Structure 1
């Protein structure tokens, strides 16, 4: 009789990432993953002690992919922008994992590599050493929020996205100018949430980096 296949840690993470493409972190379970692999949950718990630990490991692989091949170029602001855009692109391919990364954090190699490069970039900025951890935290919170927000839109089906666009057209472009005068006034210039998100991402992050730079110049 042929024995049941022994799955490696990498096989498990591959299968988990694929399962998360079609489900969110809330509905994901070790039991469902075991069923996909044709095994039982206990065999997976030999590799990961909990669902949270497994999700963290999957999210960390996305960070590893994001920093793979990265070479620091430009000034500190360009380095941080490049890191953030790499993260955005990587999680854009796995939108269901963006919330996982923001919620749990990974603490794995990918996370530490990202952290190391961001901190190294900030150390070249001219910030006082004592201010670097707080500025780093602000940037991480901002980037994680932007990526998670964008992932929510990316996870929509084409039908759901079009429904949202139609709702925007009705609620904004068709706003009653007497009840919503400001909305009616700016309606044709307001962009739907899902439009030009990369440009908005870069503009928001650039503004935060410029704010940090301004505090350096004043100190």
Structure 2
């Protein structure tokens, strides 16, 4: 798993990672990997889960429910920030092992400790995790694009913002020079998640 993560982190494209390349790096052939994983998808699921396990290393269930959820979110962000090629496809490879189980357990336990009504805990779990994954994937996709693609997207953004007709799009024209291309920093990711946590129907103090 560690070798697979290293290969992915060094790839310019997620598509360049394959079972054949991993086998070669390990000094064997791909048939040996197929004894453990039926296909590339199973391997990717295992890699995602491995990353989650590593991200949660040292995590302690302490502090308020909100503190714990923020910790979980930032651990996920930080883990995938250095793996944009993997992170952009996390929605396709949600993980199927202990890492995923741990995230689910800790998230739902924090919501329960917050006093969220029992019938709403699964719903809020899905909201928090879905948004976290979506933001991480979106950020990763923007970071993993080639320099040429990033430049083209920036030019496209400039065209539709700076070229906006003030008479038809007054707000857009007003803020045009302050709009940046899509992509979240760690701070903006946290600020967005804090807004969502504000809406959690908690009955216990969370800050």
The equivalent of 2:39 in structure 1 is 50
TM-score by length of 2: 0.85
Is the contact made by 2:114 and 2:202 (CA closer than 8 Å) also made in structure 1?
Answer: no
- How big is the shift at 1:60? 1.1
Contact 1:72/1:79, CA 8 A, preserved across alignment: yes
> Aligned partners of 2:45, 2:13: CA distance in 1, in Å?
14
Partner of 2:201: 213
CA distance in 1, matches of 2:105, 2:162: 46
Q: Deviations over 1:101-136 (max 9, x none)?
A: 321211211111111111111111111212111111
The aligned residue for residue 191 of structure 2 is 203
- Aligned residue runs from structure 1 range 10-29, under 5 A: 13-21=1-9, 22-29=11-18
Match of 1:130 in 2: 119
Whole-angstrom CA distance in 2 between matches of 1:148 and 1:101: 6
Hey, what does 2:84 align to over in structure 1? 95
Flag the structure with more relative contact order, 1 or 2, with Cα contacts below 8 A and sequence separation at least 6. 2
Relative to structure 1, is the Cα distance of residues 23 and 190 closer, same or farther in structure 2, using a 3 angstrom cutoff? closer
Map 1:10-159 onto structure 2 (within 5 A). 13-21=1-9, 22-158=11-147
* Higher deviation after alignment, 127-136 or 30-39: 30-39
Q: For 1:68 and 1:92, how far apart are their aligned partners in 2?
A: 17
* Cα drift, residue 160 of structure 1: 4.3
| Contact 1:56–1:101 (Cα < 8 Å) also in 2 | no
Q: Structure 1: how far apart are the matches of 2:165 and 2:130?
A: 37
Distance across 2 between alignment mates of 1:65 and 1:163: 36
Is there any run of 5+ residues in structure 1 with no aligned partner, and where?
1-12
Kept after mapping to 1: 8 A contact 2:77/2:136 = yes
Aligned to 1:172, which of 154, 157, 161? 161
Structure 2 unmatched runs, 5+: none
Decide whether the 8 Å contact of 1:176 with 1:184 is kept in 2: yes
Residues 15 and 78 (structure 1 numbering): CA distance in 2 closer, same or farther, change over 3 Å?
same
TM-score normalised by the chain length of structure 1:
0.81
- Verify the 8 A CA contact 2:116 2:202 in the aligned structure 1: no
Two-structure CA RMSD over aligned residues (Å): 2.5
